[in-house]
Amino acid sequence: MKKVSRAQCANCTCSPGLLSRSNRRTSWLAKQVNIKRGSVSGSPRSLSRNGSVYTIDAASLCLPEVKEVNTSDRLTRLRQLMAEYDVGVYIVPSEDEHQSEYVAPGDQKRSFISGFSGSAGFAIITRDVMCMNDTPEGLAALSTDSRYFSQATNELDFNWTLLRQGAKDQPSWEEWAVLQAINLSLDSGHKISIGVDPRLITYSLFQKFDGIIRENLAQSKYSRAEVELTPIADNLIANIWKEFEEEPPKPDTIIKLLDTKYTGQDVTAKIENTVSIMRKNGCTGLVVSALDEIAWLLNMRGSDIDYNPVFFSYLLLGADNTATLFADNKRFDTPVRDFLQKHKVNVKPYEQFWTELESFSRDLNMKNEKLLVPKNASWEIVRNIKCTFEQPLISPIEDLKSVKNEVELKGAREAHFKDGRALCRFFAWLEYELKYNCELIDEIQADEKLTEFRKMEKNFIGLSFASISATGANGAMIHYKPMKGACSVINPNKLYLNDSGSQFLEGTTDVTRTVHVGVPTEDEILKYTLVLKGHVALAQLKFPENTTGSSVDVIARQYLWSHGLDYGHGTSHGVGAFLNVHEGPIGIGSRPSASNKLVPGHLISNEPGYYEDSEFGIRIENVMYVKDSGYICNGKRFLEFDTLTRVPFCRDLIKPELLSPSEKEWINKYHSTIWNELSPSFVKCTVEYAWLKRQTMPF
């Protein structure tokens, strides 16, 4: 058994994926007492004084409670259940049945069984079907991408093998699972079922996985093997959850309307536009399972998943513009009920979706009509359809949602103005406390202070994702998540990376800044400047219409590449309008979404970076939108980006000699805009006013 210290116990489910490792307790206390401060210049005060964070408070020693967790017990119980269901290999995805990127506590099944808390990856558990021991045996592997390699290495215990997705000579999780099943079949002489909850994978993934099985079985050396992918509707993780810990409660918060003064378009127009696209695809019905698509279509918002203002629901849309919403209508207030009735949206219980889907599709079949099923629909949805269907590459609602109207763009600008003001206050405060007050501030305390500043802004609803507040080597973990009582004290002699965002009624923000309050090394300055040059190059870019995100990815990487450097994540993702911070169907990078065309109205991030394991991380992220540049060549329009984020870059990390005149001009203009817009918000002669003035001085 290994001891793991809980993080914020009152608000988590105690699954190992939400727990930090125990050996951080002593390191946390040691850092609170022993961190070196001597090399910070300009420190006018003594370190030993009362009333500072440096003074150890007895309350600070009350670390999160310790809980005994061992994935061995969970794996043993799962394999016993796998035997009951005659399953040799079991797949546990990260997603919920709506294919959400972030999931509610009750849907964190992969975290429960593996201990890995990252947002992306698959757990694969095998059962040795020939084992006759009382305790069943087998293997367990966790597959994730390069954003989480360091995190997974830290969080997985001895039971697990890490499959580094995309790394050289590493199999994909599908290939690994199929090979294990084939070997089990050859050893036992029996058919081996690979089980998965069909609600948790898309139909597209099922087709891909099934194809890999067939390709392998077609090889002569595996001709005697029998393997099939089997839907297990009774989720096996859910069946054992309560044996190890209390199940998280289901959401019970009120679902509300979002006024058209924020959305810019009413529900009737959105439904009509969606139906029009549906008809162009030759379909008379549409099934919608993505939560953000339903929230956008109906101008409604909830809080069923942390950071994402969505609510659990399904929706069926007919060609006559009638819609049926499947949700917990007990959580609707009176305005919502009246609103839905006005717009002819029928409401039925969430659990009734499956029987209604079968009936709805059977009626279409009788009329010889087709159903439109988006690519993000689950395998289980397709299994319940009783008519022919079409699957376009992009969901019609996702496509409409990604192009922001003027009201949404105005809201995004306002949201970034308010968020920029909060971030400037935060970075000014952080620099002053670390450099001049010589305070010891850990990563969580910094994050909490930033949230305080954000709460000062009107219409602030909450954070748009779990903040990445990372000092030194922690910044090298791309999706690092500090935990209370198990995080690092911010070292003023190292780089500090903060990636965070807000949800305002006006819009969603996502900002990353890397700063140094001491004296950075020449290497840190060089790497930061190279990242900044790539960031500016993308922000300055003008490009012809019909350009895809994948075709401009190199623009942000070129200066790093020229030094033999790179980063292992995408350069950009779409951003919602008071919705999910990561939004399809667009992006810049190598992911499938990056193959889609960039069009005016797309709201998108710009976030190149660079990371050195065990040393530091650098990332600079702004949000920008696509607009017409005014240029036309051979009848083809040229587009450009307009940056919305209002936070200056770190001057102490920029090497001006490496900047071209054009780059200096763009940075100076950007900083001038920030100064002109934000400085009136700050009182002269204050810390934040002086900080903003210094950071926005022209080169």
CATH superfamily to which 256-400 belongs: Creatinase/prolidase N-terminal domain (3.40.350.10)
**Is pLDDT above 80 for 36?**
no
Q: What is the pLDDT of residues 438-496, one digit of tens each?
A: 999 999 999 999 999 999 999 999 999 999 999 999 999 888 889 888 899 999 999 99
For 146, 213, 260, 619, the CA distances from 106, given in Å and listed in that order, are 26, 31, 32, 32
d(CA 509, CA 504): 8
Give how far the C-alpha of residue 428 lies from the chain's centroid of Cα atoms, to the nearest Å.
28
User: What does the pLDDT read at residue 58?
Assistant: 32
Q: Do domains 72-244 and 256-400 have the same CATH topology?
A: yes
Q: Please provide the CATH number assigned to the domain covering 406-695.
A: 3.90.230.10
Q: What is the mean pLDDT of residues 82-98?
A: 97
User: What does the pLDDT read at residue 555?
Assistant: 98
Report how far apart the first and last C-alpha atoms of the chain are (Å, whole number): 57
Mean pLDDT of the chain: 90
User: What does the pLDDT read at residue 627?
Assistant: 98
3-state secondary structure of 530: helix
Q: What is the mean pLDDT of residues 688-697?
A: 98
Angle ∠(257,258,264) on CA atoms, nearest 5? 140
**Judging by DSSP bridges, how do beta strands 314-318 and 89-92 pair with one another?**
unpaired
**Is pLDDT above 80 for 292?**
yes
User: In degrees rounded to 5, what are phi and psi of residue 349?
Assistant: -60, 145
d(CA 55, CA 439): 9
Strands (E), 321-396: 323-326, 345-348, 371-372, 389-390
Domain range annotation of the chain: 2-67, 72-244, 256-400, 406-695
Contacting residues for 158 by C-beta, under 8 A, at least 6 apart: none
Q: What is the pLDDT of residues 563-585, one digit of tens each?
A: 999 999 999 999 999 999 999 99
Given a contact cutoff of 8 angstroms between Cβ atoms, the answer to whether 255 and 299 are in contact is no
Which of 539, 506, 502, 269 is CA-nearest to residue 410?
Answer: 506
Which of 198, 99, 695, 684 is CA-nearest to residue 426?
Answer: 695
- Return the bridge partners of 597, or none: 548
User: What does the pLDDT read at residue 69?
Assistant: 56
Percent of the chain with pLDDT over 70: 90
Q: Domain 72-244 falls in which CATH fold?
A: Creatine Amidinohydrolase; Chain A, domain 1 (3.40.350)
**Sequential DSSP letters for 532-556:** HHHHHHHHH-EEETT-BGGGGHHHH
Q: What is the pLDDT of residues 150-205, one digit of tens each?
A: 889 989 999 999 999 988 889 999 999 999 999 999 999 999 999 999 999 999 99
Which of 497, 493, 467 is CA-nearest to residue 482?
Answer: 467
Query: Out of 9-18, 323-332, 418-427, 490-499, which region has the weakest mean confidence (pLDDT)?
Result: 9-18
Cis peptide before 335 (omega within 30 of 0): no
User: What does the pLDDT read at residue 283?
Assistant: 96
User: What does the pLDDT read at residue 47?
Assistant: 34
Q: What is the mean pLDDT of residues 254-278?
A: 96
Sheet of 19-21, strand order: 19-21, 2-6, 66-69
User: What does the pLDDT read at residue 486?
Assistant: 84
User: What does the pLDDT read at residue 280?
Assistant: 93
Q: What is the pTM assigned to this prediction?
A: 0.89
Per-residue exposure over 498-510, b if at least 16 CB sit within 10 Å of its own CB, e if not = bbbbbbbbbbbbb
d(CA 503, CA 398): 20
Consecutive H or E run containing 163: strand 161-164
Which of 326, 332, 322 is CA-nearest to residue 347?
Answer: 326
For 192, 204, 490, the CA distances from 178, given in Å and listed in that order, are 10, 17, 45
Given a contact cutoff of 8 angstroms between Cβ atoms, the answer to whether 447 and 455 are in contact is no
Query: Out of 12-21, 249-258, 591-600, which region has the weakest mean confidence (pLDDT)?
Result: 12-21
Given a contact cutoff of 8 angstroms between Cβ atoms, the answer to whether 544 and 552 are in contact is no
For 41, 47, 428, the CA distances from 436, given in Å and listed in that order, are 9, 10, 11
Angle ∠(92,96,99) on CA atoms, nearest 5? 105
